[in-house]
Structure 1
Amino acid sequence: MSFDVDALLAELDLDAKASLLAGQDVWSLPALPRIGLGSLVLSDGPIGVRGVRWSPDDPSVTLPSPTALAASWDPRLAVRAGRLLAQEARRKGVHVLLAPTVNLQRSPLGGRHFECYSEDPLLTGLMGAGYVTGVQDGGVAVTVKHFVANDFETERFTADVRVGERALRELYLAPFELIVRRARPWGIMAAYNSVNGTTMTQHAELLNGVLRDEWGFDGFVVSDWLAARDTVASANGGLDVAMPGPRTVFGEQLAEAVRGGEVDEEVVDDMVRRVLLLAHRTGALGTRHLPGTPDLDGVAVAREVAHRSFVLLGNETGVLPLREPRSIALIGALAADPKILGGGSATVFPEHVVSPLDGLRKALPPGTDLTFSTGADPRTTLPPATDNFRLRATAKAADGTRLAEFPLREAKITWIGELPAGLDMATLASVEIDGTYLPERGGTHTFAVTGPGDLRLTVAGQTLFDGVNLPEGGDVFTSIMQVHEQRREIELAEGEPVDVSLTYWIPSEMAEFARGTFAWVTFALGHRGPVPDPDAALDEAVAVAAKSDVAVVVVGTTAEVESEGFDRTSLALPGRQDELVRRVAEANRNTVVVVNAGSPVELPWRDEVAAVLLTWFPGQAGGDALADVLLGVEEPGGRLPTTWPARLEDAPVTDVTPQDGELAYDEGVHIGYSAWARVERKPAYWFGHGQGYTTWVYEELDVYPDDEGGARVRVRVRNSGKRKGREVVQLYLAPTERGDRPPRWLAGFASVEARPGEAVETDIVIKPRSLEVWRDGWQHIAGEYVLEASHAYDQPRLSTRVVLQKIR
């Protein structure tokens, strides 16, 4: 069936057209049955497809974090991940996935960097292009985000990024441009922030001028949620869809702006054309046969991405892979309850999570002694109550009338965006979590409440908390992402059940904000049973390590450290984890540290342990993948997509805090490894670093320049070790006449696999853009360059001088 967008458009009056540009609710656009248009459904990603419900009752396959995917340095793996997510989206009735995030990791303090790929625009762009290709292969749209310079969380809704045009072009716009030109995405998301004085949802110069006219983007532009603020400026500035609904700056307000002569109806027609094209592409218009999505095993893909992403930071003693140890001490709270994903809109709910403890228990051969000890718990908030609790949630009106009742698997309510069926913010006044708890052990039990607003906690007939829970000096809105906890203790007897109740009253500010637009009801009851004091827990871990052949210590960050909504203030591991590692390493020379973090952390003990393995936020199958890698079933295949400082104060670019509403990118084009190359201080681990379980010899490097100013590079490497393995060949360009350019930069990469003793060749294309500088337009800088084939940024293996010039 043909697709005639103008014919469809001719059937619509102004009000119908304007209605298609505003969300009908939090996650969808309205249907128009008379033209065959169904409702377009959008959903958060990027590591899963949550759907329209923020609830564990609707589970999602959960892949490793985007930093992990980027650590694979394999765009083909990104395609595979994208195809799986398209499969998930179709299963959940989703047409548009709000992903991928391709902002750059400008500062290690960025709180949402786990959701971004890299500090390098080429690696970011190629991984993002692979992801987009995979998702759209399955007939599901993407919205590449957040366009543009949304590389921080502090004041992200209002901050104005001041950035020079060269840095904007060469760094921050570069991944978007590469993805638009290579993968042809069907959507882009405009960011909250402003760039050089203009908010991105109405930035005509970048949305209409650069994105559409210069790059040829033909998809739709959607606002980040609640980012569109002005009807006329947004429509004329290039925004197509304002989300969420039903109250937005488009819809009725847009129709009135047209009637008042402030927006030309032809502008609206173009906006609608792009929405109808989106519907056609995703099958919501009923005019296109969608491709069949391959039947991928989600758990298998999650496991593959995980082990391919793990970065072996150090293994100088060769302790890994483990060689039939008789006893293993597994230490750290994160070994039993890992951090599998980052907080915020990237949150999805897996059906099942394999922890490191689970994974090793399943994988170890019979007769291997595995002993677990907490050692040190990094969490600053207690986990939601689950074991031995029988709970329900009851929603009530202001007069106490019961509106609805729900069973709970854990003592947590997270109703974000939409409320459960049958509820609305106009009548909902409070929610109560109540039920019984059967203590397994007698003694001091700790209960905790979280949630912005009024709460009352009662346990065993005693009111433990009754008041307002907000950070000091905070309000409801700023406390949404930054969790504030109230803890209380009570003595309970073993085996004697007690009644538990936590009631949460919806703050009036939140009710007014949310009514008809975006619900946000989130609070939790945390619990911890009797535990030894922290010193005793550390002593126990050390004792367990001392009597084991190998000690595996899992350390990392928490939801209070890495999340959407706030930036980090430190790179130090929370709690007493550094002390735990040092003490265990003193007790056992075969100490392997597993780092469960989404972005850089300080590792001050890295030279004191036998091995350091970075697993990122590894998704739902992370424990199985960890067992695979520790036991040598799989090789840790990752390389760092970002440079890791030894100490925060060493990092050359750290600022993420706007001053008087402005955040100045004064460092220009020098971020990441480029910034590090300009200072005397050296990082703990350079960009591209990562070891494997074999060794490689680089044998030949041949360069074949082309007339466009780029080149084709052939590299031959040989596996000189005793195991099959994978190498990521990285190409860097260094100009012999540097001028104002970085010392060298990534120009291309490819991964190869080989058996022991086998030599393999790979061809890598260097695009002309790698030799271009923005100076009121792209200028090709011809001349002599040193081309390095490297294992990492600081580890060149072969180099040659080559003259690259543009002839045509």
Structure 2
Amino acid sequence: MTLEEKVSILSGEDFWSVPAIERFNIGKLRVTDGPNGARGGGSLIGGVKSASFPVGIALGSTWNVPLLEEIGAALADEVKSKGAHMLLAPTVNIHRSVTNGRNFECYSEDPFLTAELAVGYIKGLQSQGIGATIKHFVGNESEIERTTISSEVGERALREIYLIPFEAAVKQAGTWGVMSSYNRLNGTYTSEHNWLLGTVLRDEWDYDGIVMSDWFGSHSTAETVIAGLDLEMPGPPRDRGQKLVDAVNAGTVDPAIVDQRVLAMLRLMERVGSLDDHRPHAERADDRPETRALIRRAGAEAAVLLKNNGVLPLAGEGKIAVIGPNAKTAQIMGGGSAQLNAHYRISPWQGLVSALGEDRLSYAQGCTNERFQPVLRGDFTVEYFDNEKLAGTPVHIGTQEEAQAFWIGNVGDGKVDPLHFSARITGQFTPEVSGEHRVGIYSAGFAKVFVDGKLIADAWTDWSKGRTFFEEGSDEVVGSVTLEAGRSYEVVIEFATKAFATLGLAAFACGIGHPLGDEAIAEAALAARDADVALVIIGRNGEWDTEGSDLLSIELPGRQNELVAAVAQVNPNTIVVLQTGGPVEMPWIGSVAAVLQAWYPGQEAGNAIADVLTGVAEPGGRLPQTFPVRWADNPAHSQDREVYPGLEGKVRYEEGIFVGYRHYDRLGLTPLFPFGFGLSYTSFTLSDLVVDDSRFESDGEVNVSLAVTNSGSRSGSAVIQLYVGDEASSEPRPAKELKAFHKVQLAPGETGKVTLKLDARSFAYFSETGHHWVVEAGAFTLRAGLSSADLPLSASVERKTSTVLPV
């Protein structure tokens, strides 16, 4: 291969592919976004339809490694349907803060749980010949200034918390891909971090896959190549191509290092079958019955029953008031690069109608929970101009079905430069009610909205950077206009591109909404009063839980707390169904009969929720993240802004290893709901703890067994959790840490035996001075139970000598 040919496959050709090398008959390598589906090569909005699986935190709630492996295999079929070879997944960053906008996409606050689930996911995916790309390596635990901020993390916290899932992915699952994060780690961009990509990943862990940049996450030529970044994405290259050829010719980059990167890419291409894949690229929408069933089953297993005063499962008769902003809107996924065009969306209302019949149900919205005004939908004409002034004759005229767009790659049928164009979008809006309406626009670019020729919202004249479109967009600008019900109004949106900060994209979203007032809550309370049971289905949506924007608090948005209080006041059988990507404060928790955390369960959302509510399925979920009473209790909450959300380009992980339940244990804080918690429709008792520590001294292994009995009247599942605590460590250590778990399904009255295995690393901490793992002499306490706060069985094991373990 010539130098130019070698360099060509070290960066993308376009947004989703690595170029072919025709002289050697090497085919293109294609990738697609994940992790809760395979979107394919289209935009984040629209495109070929795909299966939408439960989001990461929902899968984390299942605590079911075989299920994750099954989902990984199903996702491989989805990737193949999009003509791709690699899935950009799984996402395994840790829930450091409850306000991280991307927590929905990640599994847990706990590194061990995250690692076990990621291994299952990767094994399932790669067993079908599709490459995994575990991300984001490392320190991307918030979305604020994420493309430039430096995560200041000590080595011990890195080794014991943040690197654990990646280490397991490499050593246990053999992942074929790793994606570097956008952020800096202790001052250096992860995409050019010699210690991270060289010392840790390749030298210590013996990794032989590729490292690719996050999109536009490369910032240099020689530095990234030398450090270990194999692939710059997307293309065309910004830091490689001719720049890398010139660097090699100038002696800045050793040709032997280029060869290492090329061999890694060729090895990957061989693994995923793209070396000799010369089929024309085609994408199809495969809506498989078996995938539908898997998503529905996984969505139900992810649901966590947080409270139940006997009202669930729902009885076979009686009137049910279905209330709330998420009742008739299917909230199936979070926002950002994980979003896709789902085959369909089942709302909770649709699921309940199918399960119970519409005759038993009544409905009231009660309030709204949108972050932005509801996106306008309908038939829109789009005129594209090959300039940024809407000047002259359009070079292309297209159509779209909603007043939002995310333009990347091919724009305007390829007739405009995707970073230098303007567009006029024209459609109609017919309001259902008369009165004041709010018109909102936010954009990565300049945008204005006109209603019947009058400028209503202006995100052009005084555009300023906000928290939308991956921090490339403005905040929403909202204007108001009085509209008449039934009358059709012309809506025109004018858009032009602008210089970007990091990510080269153009996007906008425009919505029109009619605000709901006191009368809507009163109507909901009236419906609840006249029903036997009130189901209040509330939470957030993908506008709040999204890549590129952290939450400002964990209060329910809008007037949802007022809604719950009003309904609970008139109906003692009030059941709250929460759909969020993480915990919320619950000031009404004492006045409701039941709470079900349903997350974002994918396209079968309403059916999965209805299955759990009606008892067709067991609520199989257990919390993968501690739910605090208030946001201020969270370990990342601090009066020091450098700790969170960051200050002057740095975010300091001051809490070190004391993340999640470790933090609450350390301070003696009682959370609203502890890590690992979840109720069942049956009950379980644990007994007969037996510990075999005969090999603890020689090789660090301990085997723990116990009996689990289903003491209730229904079949159900329990997650047996085993925690380890060092009774007298020379270094500060958590009171306990999850080191093993197993999910067991039992019939009524059935007893099962669970065996949990601990290895030497289960007892070790990382020594920053020695740069190795240490198991100290002394006693360790083993605690087994059903959550981090419910550990009825315990035992102690002891070592006479200390031992050192390699990295």
TM-score range with shorter-chain normalisation?
over 0.9
Partner of 2:640: none
Determine the C-alpha separation between the residues in 1 that align with 2:766 and 2:129. 36
Q: For residue 172 of structure 2, give the secondary structure of its aligned residue in structure 1.
A: helix
Query: What are the residue-to-residue correspondences of 1:280-319 with 2, within 5 Å?
Result: 280-286=270-276, 297-315=290-308, 317-319=309-311
Whether the 8 Å contact between 2:411 and 2:418 is mirrored in structure 1 is no
Determine which of 765, 779, 785 is the counterpart of 2:774. 779
Shift of 1:667: 1.6
Q: For residue 183 of structure 1, give the secondary structure of its aligned residue in structure 2.
A: coil
Determine the C-alpha separation between the residues in 1 that align with 2:450 and 2:247. 53
Determine the C-alpha separation between the residues in 1 that align with 2:758 and 2:173. 18
Aligned AA (1:789): A
- Tell me, yes or no, if structure 1 residue 596 matches structure 2 residue 591: no
Determine the C-alpha separation between the residues in 1 that align with 2:116 and 2:726. 23
Change (3 A) 1:788 1:413: same
Query: What are the residue-to-residue correspondences of 1:576-591 with 2, within 5 Å?
Result: 576-591=559-574
Query: What are the residue-to-residue correspondences of 1:428-447 with 2, within 5 Å?
Result: 429-447=421-439
Determine which of 315, 335, 355 is the counterpart of 2:327. 335
Which deviates more from structure 2 when the two are superposed, residues 187-196 or residues 460-469?
460-469
Determine which of 615, 628, 633 is the counterpart of 1:632. 615
Shift of 1:139: 0.9
Change (3 A) 1:294 1:411: closer
Shift of 1:64: 1.2
Aligned AA (1:523): F
Whether the 8 Å contact between 2:159 and 2:766 is mirrored in structure 1 is yes
TM-score normalized by structure 2? 0.92
What runs of 5+ residues in structure 1 fail to find an aligned partner?
1-11
Partner of 1:542: 525
Determine which of 701, 710, 713 is the counterpart of 2:701. 710
- Tell me, yes or no, if structure 1 residue 800 matches structure 2 residue 800: no
Shift of 1:796: 0.8
Whether the 8 Å contact between 1:419 and 1:519 is mirrored in structure 2 is no
Determine the C-alpha separation between the residues in 2 that align with 1:288 and 1:185. 25
Shift of 1:59: 1.2
Determine which of 227, 251, 255 is the counterpart of 1:261. 251
**Number of aligned positions between the proteins:** 781
Shift of 1:423: 3.4
Whether the 8 Å contact between 2:702 and 2:757 is mirrored in structure 1 is yes
Query: What are the residue-to-residue correspondences of 1:331-370 with 2, within 5 Å?
Result: 331-365=323-357, 368-370=359-361
Query: What are the residue-to-residue correspondences of 1:378-777 with 2, within 5 Å?
Result: 378-386=369-377, 389-398=378-387, 399-419=391-411, 421-425=413-417, 429-465=421-457, 468=460, 480=472, 483-494=475-486, 496-507=487-498, 509-510=499-500, 519-528=504-513, 533-654=516-637, 655-705=643-693, 706=695, 707-739=698-730, 740-775=732-767, 776=770, 777=772
Q: For residue 626 of structure 2, give the secondary structure of its aligned residue in structure 1.
A: coil
- Tell me, yes or no, if structure 1 residue 107 matches structure 2 residue 97: yes
**Identical counterparts, % of pairs:** 38
Partner of 1:195: 185
Determine the C-alpha separation between the residues in 2 that align with 1:376 and 1:29. 47
Change (3 A) 1:477 1:633: closer
Shift of 1:306: 0.7
Q: For residue 723 of structure 1, give the secondary structure of its aligned residue in structure 2.
A: coil
Determine the C-alpha separation between the residues in 1 that align with 2:657 and 2:320. 47
Determine the C-alpha separation between the residues in 2 that align with 1:436 and 1:586. 42
- Deviation sequence 1:507-539 (CA, Å, 0-9, x none): 3x14xx79xxx652222331235x6x4100110
Partner of 1:38: 27
Determine the C-alpha separation between the residues in 1 that align with 2:636 and 2:489. 53
Whether the 8 Å contact between 1:457 and 1:502 is mirrored in structure 2 is yes
Determine the C-alpha separation between the residues in 1 that align with 2:735 and 2:467. 47
Partner of 1:27: 16
Which deviates more from structure 2 when the two are superposed, residues 152-161 or residues 78-87?
152-161
Whether the 8 Å contact between 2:386 and 2:416 is mirrored in structure 1 is no
Determine the C-alpha separation between the residues in 2 that align with 1:307 and 1:657. 34
Query: What are the residue-to-residue correspondences of 1:39-78 with 2, within 5 Å?
Result: 39-54=28-43, 55-78=45-68
Change (3 A) 1:779 1:243: same
Shift of 1:432: 2.3
Shift of 1:794: 0.5
Determine the C-alpha separation between the residues in 1 that align with 2:295 and 2:474. 29
Shift of 1:229: 1.1
Aligned AA (1:787): L
Q: For residue 718 of structure 2, give the secondary structure of its aligned residue in structure 1.
A: strand
Change (3 A) 1:473 1:31: closer
Q: For residue 520 of structure 2, give the secondary structure of its aligned residue in structure 1.
A: helix
Query: What are the residue-to-residue correspondences of 1:233-248 with 2, within 5 Å?
Result: 233-248=223-238
Shift of 1:445: 4.3
Whether the 8 Å contact between 1:281 and 1:288 is mirrored in structure 2 is no
- Deviation sequence 1:694-718 (CA, Å, 0-9, x none): 0001122222233420222222101
- Deviation sequence 1:652-694 (CA, Å, 0-9, x none): 3324322222222222211111111111321111110000100
Whether the 8 Å contact between 1:331 and 1:551 is mirrored in structure 2 is yes
Which deviates more from structure 2 when the two are superposed, residues 777-786 or residues 255-264?
777-786
Determine the C-alpha separation between the residues in 1 that align with 2:331 and 2:254. 50
Change (3 A) 1:805 1:573: farther
Aligned AA (2:709): R
Change (3 A) 1:411 1:343: same
What runs of 5+ residues in structure 2 fail to find an aligned partner?
280-285, 638-642
Shift of 1:235: 0.9
Aligned AA (2:110): D
TM-score normalized by structure 1? 0.92
Determine the C-alpha separation between the residues in 1 that align with 2:680 and 2:750. 16
Change (3 A) 1:385 1:805: farther
Determine the C-alpha separation between the residues in 1 that align with 2:148 and 2:682. 49
Determine the C-alpha separation between the residues in 2 that align with 1:112 and 1:566. 8
What is the Cα-based RMSD across aligned positions, in Å? 2.4
Change (3 A) 1:472 1:262: closer
Determine the C-alpha separation between the residues in 2 that align with 1:285 and 1:441. 58
Shift of 1:552: 0.6
